[in-house]
Amino acid sequence: MARTPTPKKRIEQLRAQIREHNELYYGTDNPSISDAEYDQMVRELRDLEAEHPELADESSPSEAVGAATITTFDPVVHRVPMTSLDNAMDESELRAWGERVAKGLEGEAVQFVCELKIDGLAISIRYENGVMVQAATRGDGKVGEDVTANVATIKSLPATATKAPEVVEVRGEIYMSIAAFEKLKADREAENLERIKNGRATLAVPVNPRNAGAGSLRQKDPTITAQRDLSLWSYQLGEVVGGPAFTSHHETLEFLKSLGFPVNPEIRIVDSIDAVMQFCHSWQERRHELPYEIDGAVVKVDNLEQRERLGFTSRAPRWAIAFKFPPEEKHTILKDIQISVGRTGRVTPFAVLDTVFVGGSNVTMATLHNRDQVAAKDVRPGDTVVVRKAGDVIPEVVGPVLAKRPKKSEPWEFPTTCPCPVKSTLVKLDDQADTRCIEPSCPFQRDQRIIYFASRGGMDIEGLGERTVFALSDAGLVADVGDLYSLTVEQLLTLEGFADKGAQNLVAGIQASRTKPLPKLLTALGIKHLGPAASESLSAHFGTLDAIVAATEEELSSVDGVGGVIAASIAKWFAQPENIAIIEKLRAAGVDFGRVEISTEPQTLVGKAVVVTGTLANYSREEAEQAIKRRGGKSPGSVSAKTFAVVLGESPGASKVTKAEQLKIPVLDEAGFEILLATGELPN
């Protein structure tokens, strides 16, 4: 029987898992678990961190907003941070939030603005003198991705806003309508039918409008985005220069409408939490009447002065909350249970279902997570099962309807061999829930590893997507990522669909990737749990890939932001001879194993966390954070008991100022910041 992990071990596990799921959801728009499961993970982590404050970590994903950008779109620093919202999962939690608001305002009358929670991608669009100059995704709330060219293709967005002030940032949600999604899905399915006829591997079919919309927005070619028919609802203002003064949120919405920006017509102003609940319950029942997907409602305090008094927590405003609709459930027949194999060898069982309409779309497959979940739920082919589409993302089988189970039903047994041509034995370790194919030559894993290596979050090789990888694999031209660098134009021209220019471009793109920075290469290797943030930390600490390979597990785990779980995974990966063989192929191909620039600044801030808020005269926000890091310090996005000092510029974040006052953290102006950088000491 597996032992219950210690709080420290469980916290490490949860942090690693949440980081991985953040990257899947925010970075690649390809979540592997439902919103409900993710929310449960985050809640468990926050509860454990609250119970064990000695294990607190400012880099914990429990404090994060979204995820760091992992694509090669240019970074954009948000002048006004794009915060996330806390969630209310049921009526009692929503009412508890209402009570906190009333207490914070000492019983004053409150009006609430109720909005639909659009299932899309948060965006900030900047206009200067009436002309759109920049559009950026939320990213981690502080830094997003520059997607200006793609956002410019959205038909419902005005190219110019003639009545706009000198500067106006429009915050909103970009989404794909149900009709646009169904067309995209039908086109991909038709393409897959042709591939099957020709004996070729199929391509991924978009799962839902949210992922399809986010993926469409992140296309490098804006003409592809334009073909996807994306839409926008605006719901908030960011930075405004030269605009009118506002006293309420609904005034800002009217202002947005007057400038020509689309504002959702279903927004309502109400006077009580009872009326808020009525709005939420009404749209929970009517959600499928809409031509777009929603997954809840957003409730905000209308009065802006009241908002200022309520302030923020470390990650979200106290004056707003997202009410998440409960998962929808339907019954259907489970026709079969099959398994899929991912790039790390993880084997995931899934249910093949009689088509059922749930969560706003037809569902024919649903996740069963892992071997233990199948056994625990005892679901079997032929069962009538409860299917839930939690959070409108990943459908799952909740369990069987035992009263309808066929009399001769037999328990389903997990396969003992991988479904790939190698037919390797599947392995499940006693202390892990996952079953894995550990055969390095498994072609299913091989293809997924190559796809991941070439993705935007990895080496970002233009033109090397799923379709091309499958073609290279089928032709026997590529067995691992090291083989990519020996590909020739002549070899590519033997593949169906390749013309001379396309072949030359792909070879050039592969060769160009040899100079990618070390953090990109580390991430691209696809080591379990190792994402961009930890790769950056490792690169800064060790300087070269060879130094990382040679490091002990203890040395790896001592690096800030890595920890035991990630370190163990890295050490295990580099201990496998077949992986070292790939490293040597990359070395022989001239891939730069990197040397991260070492700061020549005096290390005055080692071990000190300095938070910067507001606008400084001589530093951009990014420059100030880099100045701190170059001197050995940390620059987290929130104030905590571990913060050494807070630097205040113009228009600082109210929540950070309040938190610094509560914790009695020293507060510096820009002159004091200069002294701190030079000496590591607080000014007298």
Query: How far is Cα 258 from Cα 164, in angstroms, rounded to an integer?
Result: 9
Question: Do the beta carbons of residue 417 and residue 424 sit within 8 Å?
Answer: yes
Give the closest residue to 666 by CA, choosing from 636, 646, 648.
646
DSSP 172-217: EEEEE-HHHHHHHHHHHHHHHHHHHHTT-PPPPPP-SHHHHHHHHH
Q: Give the full edge-to-edge strand order of the sheet including 121-128.
A: 131-137, 121-128, 167-176, 230-241
CA–CA gap between residue 367 and residue 64 (Å, rounded): 27
Tell me phi and psi for residue 451, to 5 degrees: -60, -45
Structure token pair of residue 110: 């409150």
Taken in order 656, 657, 660, 661, the sign of the CA dihedral is: negative
Which residues touch 560 (CB under 8 Å, ≥6 apart)?
59, 537, 541, 634
CA 262 to CA 81: how far, in whole Å?
Answer: 22
Question: CA angle 208-89-8, nearest 5°?
Answer: 95
SS3 305: helix
Question: Looking at this protein, which amino acid is placed at residue 160?
Answer: T
State the DSSP H helix or E strand holding residue 453, giving kind and residue range, or none if neither.
helix 443-454
Q: Rounded to whole angstroms, what are the CA distances from 582 to 202, 574, 655?
A: 27, 10, 48
Residue 41 Cα to chain centre, angstroms:
15
Tokens of 200: 């070729």
Active-site residue (options: 8, 9, 103, 117)? 117
Q: In what order do the strands lie in the sheet with 643-648?
A: 609-613, 643-648, 667-668
H, E, C per residue of 19-67: HHHHHHHHHCCCCCCCHHHHHHHHHHHHHHHHHCHHHCCCCCHHHCCCC
What are the contacts of 505-509 at 24+ separation with CB within 8 A?
Answer: 505/462, 505/463, 506/461, 506/462, 506/463, 506/464, 506/468, 509/461, 509/462, 509/463, 509/464
Alpha-carbon distances, residue 643 vs 93, 313, 515, 677 (angstroms): 31, 16, 37, 15
Between CA 30 and CA 23 the distance in angstroms is: 9
The secondary structure of 369-416, three-state, reads CCHHHHHHHCCCCCCEEEEEEECCCEEEEEEECHHHCCCCCCCCCCCC
518 neighbors 596 (Cβ within 8 angstroms): yes
> Does 516 qualify as catalytic in the annotation?
no
Catalytic residues: 117
